[in-house]
Amino acid sequence: MIVARDLTKTFQDRKRGAIQAAEGISFTVHPGQIYGLLGANGAGKTTTLRLLATLLTPTRGTAMVAGHDVTAAPEKVRASVGFLAASTALYGRLTAREMIRYFGRLNGLPDPVIVERIQRLADELEMHEFLDRRCDKFSTGMKQKTSIARTLIHDPPVMIFDEPTLGLDIMAARAIVKFVRDCRARGKTVIYSTHIMSEVEKLCDVIGIIHDGRLLAEGTLPELRARYRQDDIEEIFVTAVGPGPAL
Amino acid sequence: MNFFRMNAHAIATVYGKELRDMLRDRRTLLSMIVIPTLVMPVLMLGVGIVSYKVVRQAKATTPTVMIIGGEDSPAARAALAAHERIEVVPTTADWRERISDKKVRAAVELPPGFDAALERGEPAVVKIYNYEGEMRSAFAVSEARRFFDDYRERIVAGRLEGRGLPATLVKPFQVRTENVAPPEKVGGNVIGGIIPYLFILLAFTGAMYPAMDLTAGEKERGTMETILCSPVARGDLVLGKFLMVLTASLGTVVFSLLSMALTFMAGGSLLAGVAGGASAARTAAAGAAMPVLPTLDPLGMLAVLGMVLPMAVLFSAVLFAISLFAKSYKEAQSYASPLIIVIIMPAVVGLLPGVELNARLALIPILNVSLVSKELVSGVWQWDYLALIFGSTCIYAAIALGFAVRMFNREDVLFRT
């Protein structure tokens, strides 16, 4: 479960001064639920997810992730989280097996458990063919599967996805979407950020619309449709954030 | 206890992965193994042979000298021209420039009426013009001086004889210096001072590439975010990575040392062939296997390694911290490259003649190790300075490492955009 309370992050920029990347963000995600964080580029999605994954420390507020406080026990939070982003790459000079094993060890798993889990993940994700090849020679699909296995090796109860389909082709993106659904089916708590409306529509149980670092609206798709009197998610989004800058 | 074990396990895991990763990287192997292994023999043999040959050639060629004035002193001129170790060339008006241009090695100025003054027993001054600091010019000067010393002695002897006095009246005894070191070692000893410094430079260059690759390189490739979202504590992560940088730095030094030892062992017979001509066979036969290799005290060399150890920690930590700040590999390179000047400067100062170790200089990083190493390899042990330098370098290293850890805990550094 994820409970974010008043999560706020202020960056100091030498030229632009204080930047509110996230301001007073509060929401709750339950196990077996996919929470979609929908926002344009620079809306504060990545900052919010990085705060949850303890890559960043909040300026104010906090969050409980799988029962651990992000500010008080960041290492325990990270041990309970699988974090997958377009920006989380693989070590090119390691093989897929070495990459997954490395993260298993960093999560404190004993080697026999790691061996067994790699076997199972490779079965599920059909990775056997390239398991002992170096990651820098991988196709996008192989990289993706290895990244997924890397996030799952410690079987975390919470999954955080930061625009995982960014830059992927349709087939690869579909595989990710399927994987996210599987996570939900296994009862994991899932938070998923994207700027792609259709993904939100297909995937998310609860949608949070984020803009300028603030969570402007939150609810299930039917709830949002009712509140904004719009059927189309894109129209809902535009109505929620207000008119953009004129071109 | 359990906490400590967990930490050590995490650090070892990170270190093990980085080591495996680095050993698969051609660039690291190049900077850690290939370059130091090649640099040592090239430097030791190459520079040694070249300096040896230059000195020998300079000694073998007769220096050219011009005579200024002395048109009214044919006796002195003729004697000078007859001196076989000097080649007198026709005097030109631009003799000063010719000396500067190294066309002529020296000029001898005879005062007007020199012959006549000697006849009358009046004092006279002969001037020798040279190009200070230039080896061949120095040879010309010493030959000219030797000639005039002999010439004076002949005149003195003639005068004494004329008065019926013994030659020992003005020369009660003689002084003679005799060189016991083979002349070839002169060239070798010059680079003897450079060798320990080379370890300092290699400790730096060895750390440079991995430091950039493990920090800015990871940011650029997107693996930094991947590793940061693992539960490993940042402190453990930075230590594991830092140990890898240190390994590369020390690895570079160790490989260069091994290569140096091999050069010493294998170089002798090789040199006998290279050092040239008839002397080669003689040298080999005499058992003087390494005529041009520097004379280094082996125990002193080990002590130099001991001094380089905290220095490698210092370099690794500094390079790690500044590379971590960079967003990309290129940016890291532009920060790290100017540092080479910072490394070279103190070493150059340390190699200057006359710069000697004192308590204040012993606190200046790099310069202190450079200076003390020069003494160590020649077998001089100054324990108080050694302790001071080792201690201060350890403190600088600890500060730098603390700084690197702090940088790694700053999210504005890790996620700098």
DSSP assignment of B48-114 equals HHHHHHHHHHHHHSPPEEEEEE-TT-HHHHHHHHH-TTSEEE---TTHHHHHHTTSSSEEEEEPTTH
**For the segment B277-326, what is each residue's pLDDT rounded down to a tens digit?**
434 434 433 334 344 555 666 787 888 889 999 999 999 999 999 999 99
Say whether residue B14 is in contact with chain A using an 8 A CB cutoff: yes
Give the pLDDT score at A246: 53
**CB nearest B221 (choices: A50, A89, A98):** A89
Query: Which residue of chain A has the CA closest to B225?
Result: A88
Nearest CA to A194 out of A37, A2, A26 is that of A37
A81 and B229 in contact by Cβ < 8 A? yes
Boundaries of every domain in chain A: 2-80+157-241, 90-155
H/E stretch holding B401:
helix B383-408
Give the pLDDT score at A245: 62
Name the stretches of chain A with pLDDT < 50. Answer: none
For residue B84, is pLDDT > 60? yes
Contacts of A191 in chain B (CB under 8 A): none
B222 and A81 in contact by Cβ < 8 A? no
Query: Which residue of chain B has the CA closest to A160?
Result: B229
A88 and B229 in contact by Cβ < 8 A? yes
What the block records as the tokens of A235 is: 């129209």
Confidence band of B3 (pLDDT split at 50, 70, 90)? very low
Task: Tell me the C-alpha distance between B285 and A29, whole Å.
Answer: 87
Please state the φ and ψ torsions of residue B230, each to the nearest 5 degrees: -85, 160
Decide if the complex's ipTM is over 0.95: no
Query: Which residue of chain B has the CA closest to A47?
Result: B415
Boundaries of every domain in chain B: 2-56+185-414, 62-169
Instruction: Specify burial of residue A71 (Cβ count, 10 A radius: 0-12, 13-18, 19+).
Output: middle
Q: How many residues does chain A have?
A: 247
Query: What is the percentage of chain B residues whose pLDDT exceeds 70?
Result: 87
User: Å from A56 to nearest chain B CA?
Assistant: 6
Mean pLDDT of chain A: 92
Residue type, A85: A
User: Do A158 and A2 form a contact (C-beta atoms < 8 A)?
Assistant: yes
**For the segment A7-49, what is each residue's pLDDT rounded down to a tens digit?**
999 998 888 888 899 999 999 999 999 999 999 988 999 999 9
**CB nearest A79 (choices: B21, B228, B231):** B231
Fold topology of A2-80+157-241: Rossmann fold (3.40.50)
Return the CATH architecture of domain B62-169.
3-Layer(aba) Sandwich (3.40)
Give the pLDDT score at B193: 67
Question: Comparing B125 with B5, which gets the higher pLDDT?
Answer: B125
Helices vs strands, H then E, count in chain B: 19, 4
Contacts of A140 in chain B (CB under 8 A): none
Determine the Cα angle at B298 with ends B294 and B299, to 5°: 140
Q: Which of B226, B238, B417 to mutate to test the interface with A (most CBs of A within 10 A)?
A: B226
- Between chain A and chain B, the number of residue pairs with CB atoms below 8 A apart is 69
B231 and A89 in contact by Cβ < 8 A? no
B97 CB neighbour count, 10 Å cutoff: 11
Give the pLDDT score at B277: 43
CA B136 vs. chain centroid, Å, equals: 22
The helix, strand and coil proportions of chain B, stated in percent and rounded to the nearest 5, come to: 70, 5, 25
Task: Tell me the C-alpha distance between A142 and A149, whole Å.
Answer: 11
Burial code of A41-61, b = ≥16 C-beta within 10 A, e = fewer? eebbbbbbbbbbbbbbebbeb
